[in-house]
Structure 1
Amino acid sequence: MRLLLFILAVLVPLAILSLFTGVSNVSPATLFAGDARAVMVLVESRVPRTIALILAGSGMAVAGTIMQMLARNRFVEPSTAGTVESAGLGILAVLLLAPGLPVFAKMLVAAVFALAGTLLFLAILRRIPLRSVLMVPLIGIMLGGVISAITTFFAYRYNMQQSLGAWMSGDFSAVLRGRYELLWFSFAMTVIAYIAADRFTVAGLGEDFATSLGLKYTSVMALGLGIVSMVTAAVVVSAGMVPFLGLIVPNVISMIMGDALRRTLPWIAASGAALVLVCDIAGRTINAPYEIPVGTVLGIIGSGFFLYLLLRRQSRAA
């Protein structure tokens, strides 16, 4: 009931506000007056953009939650584990080797690269027997930096930096009808994550404990990594990099409601969608008629929240 009230009181008003925010004069008055241009903008741009924001926000928040449970670290999410950067490398590979592939095929390639990058991250962690909590995201950020440097080198070498930047900007302004439908795969992965929520909760307690309870730990890990990779690839291919979302939302919800995914996952999805809507609306209004990409706004908020978590943990340790 509380979740329904949150959706009705927060998410729905934000979605309606998103529909009527922008340069074009789209308002209830123009729609009721039968303005053809306003109707076209609403149907072709505003509605797809709002749906894309909701799907991307909920998907990336859930993906961050799964990564935190599997890595057993509150500072891990796709943009701090090299997953997003690996998806970007996959997109560059497609642009260089097979630019004519359909968008769905590009998403699959990006998902494979994202999965490979995440597996590399986890493999590196296993080789560090005595690691602190803060060392894990540091390793992920360093790995992401290396992958991003490789991507930038090849993009510069083959004069593809501008094209790659368009894919990775985290900007929803170019989302139109027919260019966001891949994000429904993100929604499907979110539903699967909710169905398997109890398994992820048990897996987050550690391999030995999960195995002792009869859980197939390797299968759950594979499912979780597959969900994270598919969600990340779908969002990156559709709109670009949306950083820190999987860090902010799961930690806030965990502070309020605990770690039982069956209970918190719907809240995480709804809160992730609401946060992305807020950032997008802010990006459209702060410097109107120009837009600030959602990725930039989230990067500012997320980096500040990341520092807050670090300082909070240090103060507790002291």
Structure 2
Amino acid sequence: MNNVIISILIIILSIISIFYGVATMSLEDLFVQGSNSNTIFLLSRIPRTISIVTAGFGMSICGLIMQQLTMNKFVSPTTAGTADSSKLGILVALLFFPKESIIFKMLIATIFAIGGTFLFLGIVRKINVKDNALVPLIGIMISGILSSLTMFFAYKGDLIQSINSWLFGDFSGVLKGNYELLYLTIPLVILAFVYSKHFTISGMGEEFAVNLGLNYKMIVNLGLILVCIISSLVMITIGGIPFLGLIIPNIVSMYRGDNLSKSIYTTGALGSFFLLACDILGRWVIYPHEIPIGLITGILGSGIFLGMIFRRLNFES
């Protein structure tokens, strides 16, 4: 995959995303301060497009790091309980710290995401699963339990409507002033680039990494904490975006292999492109209404995910 081509496609879709919508904008008034077109452009369309690109890039890299560190192509924040643990953390923040800042709620969500992720890894290592296709099923089972607990306590606390807003990602509510938290993913993504070679070596196994003088546990913990923080940032700002971190790294690995330093930008860029395409599709299908992007990625991603499982099973047989 050519990074230049993907980057150009992202620019093209970003322009479409900015100018496509129910509210029309006039090029003549676009840069006239105070005009309707200028207001829509600055307060809605630009923030929405930036958040889509940022979330797509970050979540795709999260999936890539998780798959490398766990040595399993079917693991991602969606299938490892990370996303649902983050939702449970958001619920706890809403129940016990409703007046705290969004940053504080994000920290609570991150702590729960880290706990859920390490719980998943502990169970997988404890039962020593041999079949890679069963690992995400364990994660989905854990996610189902966490999701049920979240909905139960949300019902008890009369927060069903509030927590439902995080079930499916939705960019329609992104406006200037409520998406800037996503900017925190940028230094985290840069850190992922810096440690990409370390993640690659760690993905070859603990014994191999230690023999090369690498602090295996520190690198694994660093990678998983990066994943949890980015996932929590996207979750609390946009909502759940299922399967994005699962399918994109698998598609890229078919062409670029498992060397993170060579595939990390391609993975992130393709994730941004895919999310932009899904968002535009969601706005177009039932225009002038809109389908939440989490539903679009869920439908497309689940189909691709099943295809990957059947492909792997056929290959192994």
Q: TM-score, normalised by structure 2?
A: 0.97
| Partner in structure 2 of residue 12 of structure 1 | 11
* Counterpart in the other structure of 2:104: 105
Q: Runs of at least 4 residues of structure 1 off by over 6 A?
A: 32-35
- 1:273-294: CA deviation from partner (whole Å, max 9, x where unpaired): 1111000010011101111011
Secondary structure, counterpart of 2:297 in structure 1: helix
What is the deviation of 1:131? 2.6
Name the CA distance, whole Å, in 1 between partners of 2:310 and 2:183. 37
| CA-to-aligned-CA distance 1:176-226 (integer Å, 9 cap, x gap) | 111111111112211110100000000101111111111100100111011
Which residue number in structure 1 is paired with residue 166 of structure 2? Answer: 167
1-side partners of 2:129 and 2:143: how far apart?
A: 22
The letter of the residue matching 1:100 is: K
Name the counterpart of 2:114. Answer: 115
The residue identity in structure 1 corresponding to 2:95 is L
In structure 1, runs of 5+ residues without a counterpart are: none
Moved more, 235-244 or 158-167: 158-167
Name the structure 1 match of 2:256. Answer: 257
Q: Matched residues in 2 for 1:33 and 1:285: separation?
A: 28
* Superposed counterparts of 1:1-318, under 5 Å: 2-8=2-8, 10-31=9-30, 36-318=35-317
Aligned length: 317
Could you say if the C-alpha distance between residues 34 and 104 of structure 1 is closer, same or farther in structure 2, counting changes exceeding 3 Å? Answer: closer
Counterpart residue type for residue 201 of structure 1: T
Amino acid at match of 1:115: I
Counterpart Cα distance in 1 of 2:94 and 2:240: 17
SS in 2 for 1:175: coil
Find the aligned partners of 2:202 and 2:129 in 1 and give their Cα distance: 20
* Cα deviation 1:231-251 (Å, max 9, x = unaligned): 000000100001100111100
Superimposed CA distance per residue, residues 76-102 of structure 1 (whole angstroms, 9 cap, x where no aligned partner) = 000101000000000000111011111
242-251 or 162-171, which moves further after superposition?
A: 162-171
- TM-score, reference length from structure 1: 0.97
1:54 offset after TM fit, Å? 0.5
Supply the distance in 1 between the matched residues of 2:109 and 2:138 (Cα, whole angstroms).
Answer: 22
C-alpha change, 1:32 and 1:228, in structure 2 (3 Å) is closer
CA RMSD of aligned residues (A): 1.5
2: distance between equivalents of 1:129 and 1:317? 19
State the one-letter code of the partner of 1:287.
Answer: I
Distance 2:49 2:129 in 1: 44
1:33 is displaced (CA, Å) by 7.8
CA contact (8 A) 2:6 2:273 kept: no
For 1:309 and 1:5, the matched residues in 2 are separated by 25
Structure 2 CA distance, aligned partners of 1:176 and 1:187?
Answer: 19
Read off the aligned partner of 2:194 and give its amino acid letter.
I
Q: 1:2 to 1:305 in 2, by over 3 A?
A: closer
The share of aligned pairs that are identical, in percent, is 43
| Residue 54 to residue 130, structure 1, CA distance change in 2 (3 Å) | closer
Cα distance in 1 for residues equivalent to 2:130 and 2:28: 59
Q: Cα distance 1:130–1:103, how it changes in 2: closer, same or farther (>3 A)?
A: closer
Within 2, Cα distance between the matches of 1:316 and 1:27?
54
User: How far did residue 130 of structure 1 move?
Assistant: 4.0
Query: Retained in 1: the 8 A contact 2:182–2:237?
Result: yes
Cα separation, 1, equivalents of 2:27 and 2:291: 25
The worse-fitting range, judged by mean Cα deviation, of 146-155 and 102-111 is 102-111
Deviates more, 1:127-136 or 1:152-161: 127-136
- Partners of 1:168 and 1:236 within 8 A in 2: no
CA contact (8 A) 1:20 1:27 kept: no
2:48 corresponds to which letter in structure 1?
R
Deviation of residue 30 (structure 1)? 4.9
SS at match of 1:127: helix
Amino acid corresponding to residue 300 of structure 1 in structure 2: I
Contact 1:49 1:176 in 2 (8 A): yes
2 CA distance for matches of 1:77 and 1:307?
A: 14
CA distance in 1 between partners of 2:128 and 2:3 (Å): 40
1:232 is matched by which residue type in structure 2? S
